[in-house]
Amino acid sequence: MRDKITAIAKKHDADVVTFTSASEFSSDDAIFKIFPEVKTVIALGFRVLRGLYRGVEEGTVYYQYTTMGVENLEETVMPFAMLRAASVLEDEDYIAIPQRRHQTIMNELDSTNPEVDYSDIKRGVPEAQMDFERTAEICGIGERGLSGSIINREYGPFIRYCFILTDAVIEPTPKEQYSLCDKCGECVKACPGKAISSGGKLDRWQCAVYYNGANGAKNPFMPPNAYSDFENRREIINGEVKADRETAESIMDSTYFYPPAKHSYRSSICGRACDRACYIHLEQKGVLTKKFRKPFRAGEDWQLDKTQFDI
Which residues are near ligand SF4 by CB under 6 A?
114, 145-147, 181-187, 191, 193, 195-196, 207, 210-211, 270, 272-274, 277-278, 281
Q: Closer to ligand SF4 at the Cβ: 222 or 270?
A: 270
Minimal distance, residue 100 CB to ligand SF4, in Å: 20
Q: Closer to ligand SF4 at the Cβ: 29 or 74?
A: 74
Cα of 97 vs its chain's centroid, Å: 22
Q: Closer to ligand SF4 at the Cβ: 34 or 49?
A: 49
Residue 220 class from Cβ within 10 Å (0-12 exposed, 13-18 middle, 19+ buried)? middle
122-123 and 105-106 as β-strands: parallel, antiparallel, unpaired? parallel
Minimal distance, residue 300 CB to ligand SF4, in Å: 18
Q: How far apart are CA 70 and CA 7, in angstroms?
A: 24
User: Which residue type, as a one-letter code, is found at position 295?
Assistant: P
Q: How far apart are CA 115 and CA 212, in angstroms?
A: 9
Q: Closer to ligand SF4 at the Cβ: 98 or 114?
A: 114
Burial 230-244 (b: 16+ CB within 10 A, else e): beebeebbbbebebe
Other Cβ atoms within 10 Å of 183 Cβ, number: 12
In the bound complex, which residue of the shown chain has the CB atom lying closest to ligand SF4? 145
Q: Closer to ligand SF4 at the Cβ: 56 or 164?
A: 56
Q: Closer to ligand SF4 at the Cβ: 12 or 153?
A: 153
Is the distance from CB of 19 to CB of 49 less than 8 angstroms?
no
Minimal distance, residue 144 CB to ligand SF4, in Å: 8
Minimal distance, residue 189 CB to ligand SF4, in Å: 8
Minimal distance, residue 278 CB to ligand SF4, in Å: 3
**If we measure between CA atoms, which residue out of 140, 145, 151 comes closest to residue 17?**
140
